[in-house]
Structure 1
Amino acid sequence: MSPKRPDPLRCRKLPGAADTLVVMKTGATDFTSQVPTHFDTTFVCAPNYIIFSDHEEIFRGHQIHDVLATVSEELRAEHPDFEIYRRLSQSGRSALAPYENKQINFKAVDGDVTGGKGDSAGWKLDKWKFLPMFHQTLTLSPGYKWYMFIEPDSAIFWSTVLKYQQQLDHSRPYYMGSQVLIGDLEFAHGGSGYLVSDAALKRVVDYYLAHKEDLEKFNEEQWAGDAVAGETFKRADASLTRVWPIVQGDHPGEFPWGRDHGDKPLWCFPTMTWHHMSAADAENMWDFEQRWIADGGLDNTTSGGYLRYRDVFTFYVQPQMKTAKSGWDNGSSDIEGQLTDLPSCYRACEKDSACLQYRFNLQTKKCTTSKEPRLGKKALQMEEFVSGWLYDRVEEWRRKRPACEEDLWIEGND
């Protein structure tokens, strides 16, 4: 593929872009570490977007909206979940303690963007943002056919978003995402992103406004705001359309490339979203899509003119497997035992004809291998891993993957 970013970018003029609004939900605690890269990537391609946070401000000329401004005044003034919101309202992001700032935490754990949630103040507040976000989106930016909701550690293939919409009717109530269950609540996982038609958004906003007090009580009882969103869509007669694996929440280093969905290989499905992406990950994936477009990917009728997981593995993941990486965890988990050194771990993998990769812990001398290819991610600072791949075997594995001869768009639940 072309080594440099193409200019001008074709992604700015793709069919359907004018009918689509990208909606980002974020928070002050992770804003500076994650959001700015989207101004140089996602929002370069998407001509229409809106950003909601728990703190209203102008950031580098971009309007950031207070998503919680329409929550009941009593909750904002008194509920303990809103304590950080009250501080932000009074003093801005300077009110955050160092341990609350995701930018600092982000650097401290070497790019692990999954940390810093759970019981944190920002995480407790986040669950209150979903329903007001739908309301404000429709109020501030009406008239679009499609709304693509994402979070700062999400990455999307913009060309796939638009291609997918071409298969669908926006006048139908589509609420489409990667399905998750908490108890009997089924919903689209927020971090994976989810696609909503204008018909569905209008239904959920009408329901929210008619039942706001009851829904705020329901929200208080839950811990996941995306679960509250899913239940509200369901009550509004716009139940979830399950579209995993097209929309999914893995990082490209952790995706199970060799597995199937039903009787179809994941390898052949269209790919639209990724999650747990650092700013560098998101930029690299965006660059990959632009090079793919510049190299004629959209015009390739043989492949369907859209990105499949096959393409991401072949042109993005596999090239990174040519040499061993220090400080890297490729997720190998088949235990080979304790060996004396890294070359011994390599040879243990080499002796097994099915082995594709290995991982060696320099501190514990533990060697693990795997028969499935996986790129993995940068190891945490306390993990002294070296990871490697038998590249010729990975290439042979790739060549034996099935040919993708049919379109696998998901348009409704089975």
Structure 2
Amino acid sequence: MKIGIVREGKIPIDKRVALIPEHAAYLKNKFKCEIVAQPSAIRAISDEEYVRYGIDLQEDLSDCDVLFGVKEVPIQDLIPNKTYFFFSHTYKQQPYNAKLLRACVERNIRLIDYELLKNNGARVVAFGRFAGLVGAYNGLRGWGEKYGQFVLKPAHECHDMQDMFDQLKGIDWPADLRILLTGKGRVASGAVETLQAAGIPEITPEEVENHEGSFWSQLDVEHYYRTSDGSPFDRKALFADPSGFESNFMQYAPYAKLYIAGHYYDSRAPFIFTRADAKRLDFAITYVSDISCDIDGPVASTLRASTIAEPFYGYLAHEEKEVAHDDPEAIGVMAVDNLPCELPRDASLSFGSDLMEHVIPALFDGDKALILHRATECADGVLAKDFKYLQTYIDKA
């Protein structure tokens, strides 16, 4: 078997890579396979680093059997009759990638989507932790910029995660920096790491109303949702059918200033705070770092995704429109939708480690656990059985 590491071709550019040189060298030695890397001038890990680990550079990957990327491979770069691993963003029928999936079918490509690689229903590879790490940092950075209280170097200018954490040392956090964080998954866990590195005190949700001074508090679903009829909260019922629930976020919003949205949002669920909520006199939040970044959805101030180059904008609640970030009446907004790209070296190391542990062995053991089988959207010129529902989606592409 010959494995190729593709150069990321999607715009805007992405500096991450699925397998770092150490992973590639280990893979080559353990499984006695060939592995090459396509040269890249934008990758956070240089071509020279791959060469130092004994990984050859190869522009033409047409003799490879399996190809690993990160983001969607541009259609013009897809090589027929290969197995590809990348985030395709197609299984939810995202309209902007229908032509990509159609091209994979037409070119007899086996497409294995990272997002569908699961063990007992849980994803085994993801960048969510790094979205949380950077999203919380960007929220602090945006706050400091908007109110002129402190200055933080952009995360994408930091060498790595430790360098980013070092920027947080020695800052005298203002007393009105009172933070709510929603979520308990990978994203929120990453945000927690950043807040802990910042040294801001953590308190329980029950302490939010009466706490003086700066704090951060993590809200789980039982805090920011409640049953519509006042019956006892049932977590399983919420996940099964959220239609019988409503937001309880306003119980906490009068006592916080910065909100970090790190939750997973089910489109059937109630919004966390609405445009009407943001107009209320007791809505005290003046800054939102929306890591989840669901446009015009559960976080009312997120009108659009922002970019790494220009991560911040303002939301004028009483007019429901975007304004300048420094507008004194505006809620500050951070809504970058590709946050892990700001720490590409660390994110690539973590992602590749998960691949090596949970996914790569299946390429060499006949996929005994069927992890690759379940994540295969198409192969042999047709959609896989579990993805036949995508036929109309690609037919209309």
Does the pair score TM above 0.5?
no
Greater RCO (Cα-Cα under 8 Å, separation 6 or more): 2
TM-score computed with the length of structure 1 as normaliser: 0.27
TM-score computed with the length of structure 2 as normaliser: 0.28
